[in-house]
Amino acid sequence: MLINRVPRLACRTQLGALIAGSLYLTLSDYALPGLTEPWDPAEEVIVEPLPHLPVIKDLIVDMETFFEDYRAISPVFKPGNPDPSKERLMFPLVVRELEQYTPCILCAACYAACPVNRKNPRYLGPAALAKLYRFRIDPRENQGAERLMTADNPEGWWGCEFHTNCRRVCPKDVPPDKAIGHARQELSRMKKDQNSLGEGQ
């Protein structure tokens, strides 16, 4: 929910800390519609429905657009090789890299805090892109650049403006902006290599 005008988990947000102002968060380019009533943050906690999603009633929003974007990236593990006789092993370094993106609980706080999602409802959004990158770097998938290419467009990797609100509001410390930055670097390198190959022929 939007609590004191910032997307947060209602179940984990402590009222005392809000009133004391110690949960203060500044978000970049995050203009919300003005309030209809006066509000004193030292005395009152204001709770609103998540923005960027249609309100069904009171604080309940329709999260279908968020989940549609999530489904669009095919968020399931697709092993690249037949099942081994034992487990699929991974280097600890790779596991640590992957683990940054796996704790997502699909709360949509990042989606609600993202100014690009406000401007362009077709933008896949931080959670879906972070999950897509999680599968891209999973060596057990071994799909080459296929995963990256699914979001090689203005509604995907290239839509992000790096406001970094997603990382600041995420209750699980997932860094979608980092995933997006890495994906863009990789795509740019691939395109540069393809161009130099073309010039060399």
Minimum CB–partner distance for residue 187 and ligand SF4 (Å):
21
- 27, 61, 108, 180: residue in contact with ligand SF4 (rule CB under 6 A): 108
**Contact (Cβ atoms closer than 8 angstroms) between residue 132 and residue 182:** no
Task: Collect all residues with Cβ–Cβ distance below 8 Å to 102 and sequence separation of at least 6.
Answer: 134
Minimum CB–partner distance for residue 133 and ligand SF4 (Å):
11
Q: Is 172 in the site for ligand SF4 (CB under 6 A)?
A: yes
Please give the Cα distance from 140 to 88 (Å, whole number): 7
- 19, 94, 106, 149: residue in contact with ligand SF4 (rule CB under 6 A): 106
Distance linking the first and last C-alpha atoms of the chain: 56
Strand ranges for 11-154 from DSSP E:
47-48, 55-57, 60-61
Q: Is 18 in the site for ligand SF4 (CB under 6 A)?
A: no
- 50, 104, 124, 137: residue in contact with ligand SF4 (rule CB under 6 A): 104
- Residues of this chain that interact with ligand SF4 (CB under 6 A) are 104-110, 126-127, 130, 169-172, 174, 176
